[in-house]
Amino acid sequence: MTDKIAVVTGASTGLGYQLARFAAEDGYSLIICADEEKIHEAADKLRRLGAEVEPMVVDLATRHGVDSFWQAIADREIDLFFANAGRALGEAFHDQDWAAIKRRIDLNLLQTTSLLHRVGRKMHARGSGRILVTGSIGGFVPGPYDAVYNATKAYLDSFCYALQDEWKDGPVTLTCLMPGPTETEVFDRPENDLADAPIAESQKDDPVEVARAGYDAMMRGERGVVPGVTSKILTMLAGVVPQSILARVHRAGAKPE
């Protein structure tokens, strides 16, 4: 591998793949992971860009998966870390399976927090590093029929801003990418239960443009980025509009038809 290493979780498709692609185009060697075999297809495409790529199939919703992934990267000098792995979960909360709820919490919260702690300590000890966390504008609003997903993203958004303040005078930067609905496989995966929601058929942001906005903001050391005019407006309204109204707006797009 080259001297510059980028690590990307959830890199088989969507934003994770695009973030990995931008890093490859900038000359970084890649360590990428996902919980599906598609990660090998992604690795093949990235290699065509001239990048050295190490793919891993690992389930970061499990403690074993997180520990296995960390063992693979613990001895590497990581320059860029993209904490992108995460899944959604639609339908009414009381209709959801508890095992599915727990997996989303373990994936979206526990693995991200655990890996950020380990990677952050490593980068601070070395004296350099950049981190990008994929949050969501969903973290700004209550999410009827996406209650668990929005709540996990609220945690990530808040967590990132807290760490940014702690690290503001240090050598490590942390950027939070907070996109709105984006054209990725999150709406098509059957286990996510989003296919029947109106938002699944709505116009969404381009994943290439969203990922580019996040990547460039990270490289500039910015604290956060909200791609898209509509998403920016929603984040501004979130600070002044009552939560009950925001919940009603979200419900209109998320309630299964």
pLDDT digit string (tens) for 48-64? Answer: 999 999 999 999 999 99
**Prediction pTM value:** 0.89
| Interatomic CA distance for residues 183 and 200, integer angstroms | 9
Look up the domain containing 66 and give its range.
5-254
- Look at residue 87 in the predicted model and tell me its pLDDT: 87
Low-confidence ranges of the chain (pLDDT < 50): none
Residue among 22, 5, 2 at smallest CA distance from 128: 5
- Check which CATH number belongs to the domain holding 90 and give it: 3.40.50.720
- Write the DSSP assignment of 84-149 as a string of letters: -------S-GGGS-HHHHHHHHIIIIIIHHHHHHHHHHHHHHHT-EEEEEE--GGGGS--TTSHHH
| Interatomic CA distance for residues 235 and 122, integer angstroms | 33
- Look at residue 88 in the predicted model and tell me its pLDDT: 84
- Look at residue 119 in the predicted model and tell me its pLDDT: 98
pLDDT digit string (tens) for 162-212? Answer: 999 999 999 999 999 999 887 766 655 555 555 555 655 666 779 999 999
- Count of the separate structural domains present in the chain: 1
